[in-house]
Amino acid sequence: MHIPFKPGLENNSILLLIGMYSKPQLALKYIQYYITAANGKGHGVHSPFVFNFITHVLNDRRKFYAYSKIESLRHQLLYTKNSVEVEDFGAGSSVMQHKSRHIKDIARWSLKSPKYAQLLFRMVNYYQPQHILELGTSLGITTAYLAAANSSAKVVTMEGAPAIAALAKSHFNQLDLKNVRLVKGNFDETLLPELRNSKQLDFIFVDGNHKKEPTIRYFNQMLPYFHNSSIVVFDDIHWSGEMEEAWSLIKQHPSVTCTIDLFFIGLVFINTDFKQKQDFVIRF
Protein backbone atom coordinates (compact mmCIF):
# COMPACT_ATOMS: atom_id res chain seq x y z
CA MET A 1 0.00 0.00 0.00
CA HIS A 2 1.37 3.39 -0.99
CA ILE A 3 0.67 6.46 1.08
CA PRO A 4 -1.33 8.81 -1.13
CA PHE A 5 -0.24 12.40 -1.54
CA LYS A 6 -2.67 15.00 -2.82
CA PRO A 7 -1.24 18.40 -3.69
CA GLY A 8 -2.90 21.44 -2.25
CA LEU A 9 -3.73 22.76 1.21
CA GLU A 10 -4.62 19.52 3.02
CA ASN A 11 -6.69 20.14 6.12
CA ASN A 12 -6.66 23.84 5.20
CA SER A 13 -3.41 24.13 7.12
CA ILE A 14 -2.05 27.66 6.88
CA LEU A 15 1.32 26.27 7.96
CA LEU A 16 1.86 24.86 4.49
CA LEU A 17 1.85 28.44 3.21
CA ILE A 18 4.57 29.67 5.51
CA GLY A 19 6.88 26.64 5.48
CA MET A 20 8.89 25.79 8.54
CA TYR A 21 7.87 26.82 12.03
CA SER A 22 9.42 29.92 13.55
CA LYS A 23 11.77 29.54 16.50
CA PRO A 24 9.07 30.61 19.02
CA GLN A 25 6.59 28.15 17.47
CA LEU A 26 9.13 25.35 17.58
CA ALA A 27 10.05 26.20 21.18
CA LEU A 28 6.38 26.05 22.20
CA LYS A 29 5.96 22.73 20.44
CA TYR A 30 9.01 21.36 22.22
CA ILE A 31 7.68 22.46 25.60
CA GLN A 32 4.37 20.73 24.86
CA TYR A 33 6.24 17.61 23.80
CA TYR A 34 8.41 17.63 26.91
CA ILE A 35 5.44 18.00 29.24
CA THR A 36 3.28 15.34 27.61
CA ALA A 37 5.93 12.77 26.57
CA ALA A 38 6.51 9.60 28.55
CA ASN A 39 9.58 9.87 30.72
CA GLY A 40 12.76 8.48 29.24
CA LYS A 41 13.24 5.85 31.93
CA GLY A 42 10.68 3.40 30.52
CA HIS A 43 8.24 3.64 33.43
CA GLY A 44 4.72 2.86 32.25
CA VAL A 45 5.87 1.57 28.85
CA HIS A 46 4.20 -1.83 28.45
CA SER A 47 5.86 -2.84 25.19
CA PRO A 48 8.84 -5.15 25.93
CA PHE A 49 10.47 -4.12 22.64
CA VAL A 50 10.24 -0.40 23.39
CA PHE A 51 11.24 -0.87 27.04
CA ASN A 52 14.30 -2.76 25.80
CA PHE A 53 15.08 0.07 23.37
CA ILE A 54 14.80 2.68 26.14
CA THR A 55 16.93 0.67 28.55
CA HIS A 56 19.68 -0.58 26.28
CA VAL A 57 19.86 2.05 23.53
CA LEU A 58 18.25 5.35 24.45
CA ASN A 59 19.75 5.45 27.95
CA ASP A 60 23.08 3.86 27.18
CA ARG A 61 25.54 6.40 28.60
CA ARG A 62 28.74 4.68 27.55
CA LYS A 63 31.33 6.70 25.64
CA PHE A 64 32.02 4.51 22.63
CA TYR A 65 35.39 4.36 20.94
CA ALA A 66 34.31 6.31 17.85
CA TYR A 67 32.80 9.31 19.61
CA SER A 68 35.97 11.29 20.30
CA LYS A 69 37.40 10.78 16.81
CA ILE A 70 34.23 11.92 15.04
CA GLU A 71 33.63 14.81 17.43
CA SER A 72 37.20 15.95 16.87
CA LEU A 73 36.37 16.25 13.17
CA ARG A 74 33.18 18.16 13.99
CA HIS A 75 35.19 20.58 16.14
CA GLN A 76 37.61 21.09 13.26
CA LEU A 77 34.74 21.86 10.86
CA LEU A 78 33.20 24.37 13.26
CA TYR A 79 36.33 26.50 12.83
CA THR A 80 36.82 26.01 9.09
CA LYS A 81 36.31 29.39 7.40
CA ASN A 82 36.49 28.15 3.79
CA SER A 83 33.36 28.55 1.67
CA VAL A 84 31.67 25.99 -0.55
CA GLU A 85 28.99 26.24 -3.23
CA VAL A 86 25.83 24.41 -2.20
CA GLU A 87 23.10 23.22 -4.53
CA ASP A 88 20.06 22.63 -2.29
CA PHE A 89 17.36 20.30 -3.65
CA GLY A 90 15.30 20.22 -0.45
CA ALA A 91 13.40 22.69 1.67
CA GLY A 92 16.57 24.70 2.22
CA SER A 93 18.00 26.15 5.37
CA SER A 94 16.24 28.52 7.73
CA VAL A 95 19.58 30.14 8.55
CA MET A 96 21.72 29.93 5.42
CA GLN A 97 20.01 31.31 2.33
CA HIS A 98 23.02 31.79 0.03
CA LYS A 99 24.47 29.15 -2.27
CA SER A 100 27.99 30.02 -1.11
CA ARG A 101 28.24 28.93 2.51
CA HIS A 102 31.00 28.80 5.07
CA ILE A 103 31.82 25.26 6.13
CA LYS A 104 31.73 26.35 9.76
CA ASP A 105 28.13 27.54 9.30
CA ILE A 106 27.09 24.26 7.72
CA ALA A 107 28.72 22.43 10.63
CA ARG A 108 26.92 24.65 13.12
CA TRP A 109 23.43 24.67 11.62
CA SER A 110 23.01 21.61 9.40
CA LEU A 111 24.59 18.70 11.27
CA LYS A 112 22.82 16.51 13.79
CA SER A 113 23.95 17.29 17.32
CA PRO A 114 26.19 14.77 19.12
CA LYS A 115 23.20 13.70 21.22
CA TYR A 116 21.19 12.48 18.23
CA ALA A 117 24.11 11.37 16.03
CA GLN A 118 25.37 9.21 18.89
CA LEU A 119 21.88 7.77 19.38
CA LEU A 120 21.99 6.64 15.74
CA PHE A 121 25.39 5.08 16.46
CA ARG A 122 23.95 3.18 19.44
CA MET A 123 20.99 1.96 17.38
CA VAL A 124 23.28 0.57 14.68
CA ASN A 125 25.65 -0.84 17.29
CA TYR A 126 22.80 -2.59 19.12
CA TYR A 127 20.65 -3.87 16.23
CA GLN A 128 23.60 -4.59 13.88
CA PRO A 129 21.96 -3.79 10.52
CA GLN A 130 24.00 -4.88 7.50
CA HIS A 131 22.47 -2.65 4.82
CA ILE A 132 22.29 1.02 5.80
CA LEU A 133 20.99 3.86 3.64
CA GLU A 134 21.26 7.57 4.42
CA LEU A 135 19.50 10.28 2.44
CA GLY A 136 21.42 13.49 3.07
CA THR A 137 25.16 13.13 3.71
CA SER A 138 25.99 16.78 4.40
CA LEU A 139 29.56 16.91 5.76
CA GLY A 140 29.47 13.23 6.68
CA ILE A 141 29.37 13.41 10.47
CA THR A 142 26.19 11.33 10.85
CA THR A 143 27.40 8.97 8.13
CA ALA A 144 30.59 8.44 10.10
CA TYR A 145 28.61 7.50 13.20
CA LEU A 146 26.50 5.02 11.20
CA ALA A 147 29.54 3.43 9.56
CA ALA A 148 31.69 3.28 12.70
CA ALA A 149 28.94 1.57 14.69
CA ASN A 150 29.16 -1.57 12.54
CA SER A 151 32.25 -1.94 10.40
CA SER A 152 30.79 -5.01 8.65
CA ALA A 153 27.76 -3.06 7.43
CA LYS A 154 27.51 -1.60 3.96
CA VAL A 155 26.61 2.08 4.24
CA VAL A 156 25.26 3.93 1.21
CA THR A 157 24.90 7.66 1.73
CA MET A 158 23.36 10.02 -0.83
CA GLU A 159 24.11 13.71 -1.27
CA GLY A 160 22.72 16.15 -3.83
CA ALA A 161 25.35 18.89 -3.66
CA PRO A 162 28.58 17.86 -5.44
CA ALA A 163 30.88 20.16 -3.45
CA ILE A 164 29.45 18.94 -0.14
CA ALA A 165 29.76 15.32 -1.30
CA ALA A 166 33.43 15.89 -2.11
CA LEU A 167 34.06 17.26 1.37
CA ALA A 168 32.23 14.35 2.98
CA LYS A 169 34.28 11.83 1.01
CA SER A 170 37.49 13.45 2.22
CA HIS A 171 36.19 13.20 5.79
CA PHE A 172 35.49 9.46 5.37
CA ASN A 173 39.10 9.03 4.25
CA GLN A 174 40.31 11.10 7.19
CA LEU A 175 38.37 8.83 9.58
CA ASP A 176 39.56 5.71 7.72
CA LEU A 177 36.02 4.49 7.07
CA LYS A 178 36.12 1.68 4.50
CA ASN A 179 32.45 0.67 4.47
CA VAL A 180 30.87 3.84 3.04
CA ARG A 181 29.81 4.38 -0.57
CA LEU A 182 28.71 7.89 -1.49
CA VAL A 183 26.15 8.47 -4.25
CA LYS A 184 26.05 12.00 -5.69
CA GLY A 185 23.01 13.63 -7.27
CA ASN A 186 19.39 14.61 -6.80
CA PHE A 187 17.51 11.90 -4.85
CA ASP A 188 14.71 12.12 -7.42
CA GLU A 189 17.17 10.73 -9.95
CA THR A 190 19.47 8.56 -7.84
CA LEU A 191 17.26 6.85 -5.24
CA LEU A 192 15.30 4.43 -7.43
CA PRO A 193 18.36 3.13 -9.35
CA GLU A 194 20.16 2.65 -6.03
CA LEU A 195 17.19 0.79 -4.55
CA ARG A 196 17.01 -1.53 -7.55
CA ASN A 197 20.57 -2.60 -6.77
CA SER A 198 19.67 -3.30 -3.14
CA LYS A 199 18.49 -6.63 -1.79
CA GLN A 200 16.98 -5.10 1.32
CA LEU A 201 17.16 -2.10 3.65
CA ASP A 202 17.90 -2.76 7.31
CA PHE A 203 18.41 0.77 8.61
CA ILE A 204 17.52 4.04 6.88
CA PHE A 205 18.15 7.61 7.99
CA VAL A 206 16.12 10.16 6.00
CA ASP A 207 17.58 13.65 6.32
CA GLY A 208 17.50 14.95 2.80
CA ASN A 209 14.35 16.85 1.92
CA HIS A 210 12.17 18.53 4.52
CA LYS A 211 9.04 18.62 2.40
CA LYS A 212 5.94 16.48 2.65
CA GLU A 213 5.61 15.18 -0.90
CA PRO A 214 9.24 14.03 -1.38
CA THR A 215 9.33 12.48 2.12
CA ILE A 216 6.21 10.42 1.37
CA ARG A 217 7.51 9.53 -2.09
CA TYR A 218 10.86 8.32 -0.76
CA PHE A 219 9.07 6.22 1.87
CA ASN A 220 6.84 4.63 -0.78
CA GLN A 221 9.84 3.90 -2.99
CA MET A 222 11.70 2.21 -0.14
CA LEU A 223 8.73 0.11 1.04
CA PRO A 224 9.44 -2.95 -1.14
CA TYR A 225 12.91 -3.22 0.40
CA PHE A 226 11.80 -3.28 4.05
CA HIS A 227 11.67 -6.54 5.98
CA ASN A 228 10.51 -7.69 9.38
CA SER A 229 13.18 -5.85 11.35
CA SER A 230 13.79 -2.75 9.25
CA ILE A 231 14.22 0.56 11.06
CA VAL A 232 13.61 3.95 9.46
CA VAL A 233 14.62 7.21 11.15
CA PHE A 234 13.13 10.48 9.90
CA ASP A 235 14.84 13.72 10.81
CA ASP A 236 13.04 16.92 11.87
CA ILE A 237 9.53 15.47 12.02
CA HIS A 238 8.26 18.65 13.72
CA TRP A 239 10.23 21.06 11.53
CA SER A 240 7.11 22.30 9.71
CA GLY A 241 3.44 21.62 9.18
CA GLU A 242 4.35 19.65 6.06
CA MET A 243 6.77 17.40 7.95
CA GLU A 244 4.25 16.81 10.73
CA GLU A 245 1.67 15.76 8.15
CA ALA A 246 4.19 13.45 6.47
CA TRP A 247 5.04 11.90 9.87
CA SER A 248 1.34 11.40 10.62
CA LEU A 249 0.75 9.63 7.29
CA ILE A 250 3.78 7.39 7.75
CA LYS A 251 2.62 6.40 11.23
CA GLN A 252 -0.73 5.32 9.77
CA HIS A 253 0.78 3.05 7.13
CA PRO A 254 -0.21 -0.63 7.72
CA SER A 255 3.42 -1.80 7.37
CA VAL A 256 4.48 0.42 10.27
CA THR A 257 3.96 -1.46 13.50
CA CYS A 258 5.67 0.84 16.00
CA THR A 259 6.81 4.47 16.06
CA ILE A 260 8.71 6.50 18.61
CA ASP A 261 8.56 10.30 18.52
CA LEU A 262 11.67 11.88 20.07
CA PHE A 263 10.63 15.30 18.75
CA PHE A 264 13.69 16.06 16.65
CA ILE A 265 13.67 12.62 15.06
CA GLY A 266 11.02 9.96 14.54
CA LEU A 267 11.75 6.23 14.66
CA VAL A 268 9.76 3.74 12.58
CA PHE A 269 9.94 0.00 13.24
CA ILE A 270 8.71 -2.65 10.83
CA ASN A 271 8.06 -5.72 12.99
CA THR A 272 5.10 -8.08 12.66
CA ASP A 273 5.75 -9.44 16.15
CA PHE A 274 3.75 -6.47 17.41
CA LYS A 275 0.18 -7.61 17.98
CA GLN A 276 -1.15 -4.12 17.36
CA LYS A 277 0.20 -0.81 16.09
CA GLN A 278 1.87 1.21 18.83
CA ASP A 279 2.89 4.86 18.80
CA PHE A 280 5.04 6.33 21.57
CA VAL A 281 6.17 9.85 22.41
CA ILE A 282 9.20 9.60 24.68
CA ARG A 283 11.24 12.32 26.34
CA PHE A 284 14.87 12.42 25.25
5 CB-contact burial (10 Å; exposed 0-12 / middle 13-18 / buried 19+): middle
140, 167 contact by CB (below 8 A): yes
pLDDT in tens, 58-87: 999 999 999 999 999 999 999 999 999 887
pLDDT of residue 160: 93
SS3 state of residue 238: coil
> What predicted TM-score, i.e. pTM, was given to this entire model?
0.90
Give the residue among 278, 282, 129, 256 at the shortest CA–CA distance from 203.
129
Tell me the residue range of the domain where 273 lies: 21-63+112-281
Residue 131 included in any domain: yes
- At 105, phi and psi to the nearest 5? -75, -40
Q: Is residue 28 part of a domain?
A: yes
| C-alpha 116 chain-centroid distance | 9
What is the domain-level CATH number for residue 271?
3.40.50.150
Q: Tell me, yes or no, whether 165 lies in a domain.
A: yes
* Cβ burial, residue 196 (10 Å; 0-12/13-18/19+): exposed
In a domain, 188, yes or no: yes
pLDDT digits (tens, 9 = 90+) for 164-194: 999 999 999 999 999 999 999 999 999 999 9
Residue 11 confidence (pLDDT): 36
Q: How many domains, the chain?
A: 1
- For residues 215 and 183, what is the distance between their CA atoms, to the nearest angstrom? 18
Question: Does 187 fall in a domain?
Answer: yes
Give the chain's mean pLDDT: 90
- Evaluate whether residue 243 is within a structural domain: yes
| 74 domain-assigned | no
Q: Which residues of the chain have pLDDT under 50?
A: 5-18, 93-97
Please report whether residue 136 resides in a domain. Answer: yes
Q: Is 14 helix (H, G, I), strand (E, B) or coil?
A: coil
